[in-house]
Chains A and B, each alone.
Chain A
Amino acid sequence: MTARRLFAIAALGLLLATSFGAGLLPKFSYSAQHREFTDAAPSLRFPLGTDELGRDRMARLLSATRVSLVFAAAASLGALILAALIGGVAGYCGGWCDRALVHGIDLMLSLPWLFLLLAVRALLPLNAAPLTSLLATYALLALLGWASPARVVRAGVRSLRDSEFVLQARAEGVTELRILLRHVLPNLRPILLAQFWTSIPLFILTEANLGFLGLSAGEPFPTWGSLLRELQDPLLVRPEAFAPVAAIALSVVCFKLLSPRGGYQV
Chain B
Amino acid sequence: MTRRFLPVLVVAFTSTALAQIGGDLRFCLRADPKTFDPLLVEDDNSEAVRYLTGGVLLRVNRVSQQFTPELAASWKVDEQGRRITFHLRHGVAFSDGTPFSADDVTYTMNRLMDPQLHSATADPFRSSSIPPRITQLSADTVSVTFGAPVSGLERLFDQVAILSAHSPRKLAAVLGPFQVAEYKPGIEVRLSRNPNYWKTDAGGRRLPYADQIHLQIQQNRDLELVRFRRGEIDLINSVDPEVFERLAHDAPSSVTDAGVSLESEMMWFNQAPSAPLPSYKKAWFASQAFRRAVSEGINRADLARIVFKGHAQPAAGPISPANRFWFNTTLRPHPFDVPSALRRLQEEGFQMRNGQLYDGGGHAVEFSILTNAGNRSRERMATMIQQDLTALGMRVNVVTLDFPSLLERMTQTFQYEACLLGLTNLDLDPGAQMNVWLSSAANHQWNPNQKSAATPWEAEIDRLMRRQASELRPEARKRLFDRVQQIVWEQEPFLYLVNKDSLMALSPQLQNTAPAAVAPQAYWNIEVLRKSSQLAGNR
Contact = CB atoms under 8 A, between A and B. Distances in A.
A214 interface: yes
Interface residues of B, number: 32
Interface string B383-410: 1101100000000011111100100000
A240 interface: no
B415 A52 contact: no
Contacts of B347: none
Nearest to B372: A214
Nearest to B416: A126
A213 B246 CA distance: 23
A1 B380 CA distance: 47
Nearest to A237: B246
Interface stretch (A73-81, A200-208, A226-234): A226-234
B367 A235 contact: no
A121 B402 CA distance: 10
A219 B379 contact: yes
B384 A33 contact: yes
A127 interface: yes
A126 B379 contact: no
A215 interface: yes
Interface string B289-330: 000000000000010001100000000000000000000000
Interface in A77-126: 118, 121-122, 126
Contacts, number: 67
Contact of B376 (A127, A220, A232): A232
Given A53-B380, A215-B373, A218-B399, A234 B368 contact: no
Contacts of B383: 33, 53, 219-220
A130 interface: yes
A127 B368 contact: yes
A127 B370 CA distance: 10
A52 B384 contact: no
| Chain A interface helix/strand/loop/mixed | loop
A235 B246 contact: yes
Nearest to B243: A235
B382 interface: yes
Contacts of B246: 235
A64 to B, nearest CB: 15
A187 interface: no
Contacts of A234: 222, 225, 243
A130 B397 contact: yes
A53 B417 contact: no
A54 B382 CA distance: 15
B367 A219 contact: no
**9 closest Cβ contacts across the A-B interface?**
A126-B368, A235-B246, A219-B383, A219-B398, A122-B405, A234-B222, A214-B373, A33-B387, A214-B400
Interface of B: 222, 225, 242-243, 246, 302, 306-307, 366-368, 370, 373-374, 376, 379-380, 382-384, 386-387, 397-402, 405, 415-417
13 contacts: A33-B383, A33-B387, A35-B302, A38-B306, A126-B399, A127-B397, A214-B400, A218-B398, A219-B382, A219-B398, A229-B376, A233-B242, A235-B225
